Amino acid sequence: MTRLDNALASIDGATEQFRLSAEMTVQPHARLFWDLAAAAFDLRAQVERNPGNITAMRRFLLFYLPTMAELCLRWARLSHADPLRPPDETAIADFRNWLDITRAAAEACRARSHDDLRLTMEALDDQLQRLSI
């Protein structure tokens, strides 16, 4: 497999997990997971158009995005198993931040702005380190 194939497969797996998360939850949280799936799909299109961006985004594409998707799916499974328990608002805030970062990464690819891409990846590094992932 090529670097592009690996990156696209990673994004596809994350997109599917976001979709599954959306299907397991109710509104308004389902909308957030659908938005994450859409943002990942957009990111995939941008990476496919500009494979040169893979180097700057490698950690995000191959580690952070799949980790975020896995955590969303775990949260959705727990939420589905115990629907009477109120959602953890800290987790919801993190998911919203992840959505913003994923959209920013896609936009940086679209603009082919390596400085923006680098800053986006650094912001995500900081956020995920805060979560001890």
- Joined together, the tokens standing for residue 33 give 């997971």
Nearest to 11 by CA among 66, 72, 68: 66
- d(CA 73, CA 21) in angstroms, rounded, equals 5
**Is the pLDDT assigned to residue 87 strictly greater than 80?**
no
- d(CA 63, CA 10) in angstroms, rounded, equals 9
pLDDT (0 to 100) of residue 110: 80
Domains of the chain by residue range: 3-130
Reported as a pLDDT band with limits 50, 70 and 90, residue 34 is very high
Q: What is the mean pLDDT of residues 7-30?
A: 94
CB 47 within 8 A of CB 113: no
Q: What is the mean pLDDT of residues 33-53?
A: 94
Q: pLDDT digit string (tens) for 51-84?
A: 988 888 888 899 999 999 999 999 999 888 777 7
CB 13 within 8 A of CB 5: no
Reported as a pLDDT band with limits 50, 70 and 90, residue 133 is very low
Q: pLDDT digit string (tens) for 100-121?
A: 989 988 888 887 766 666 677 7
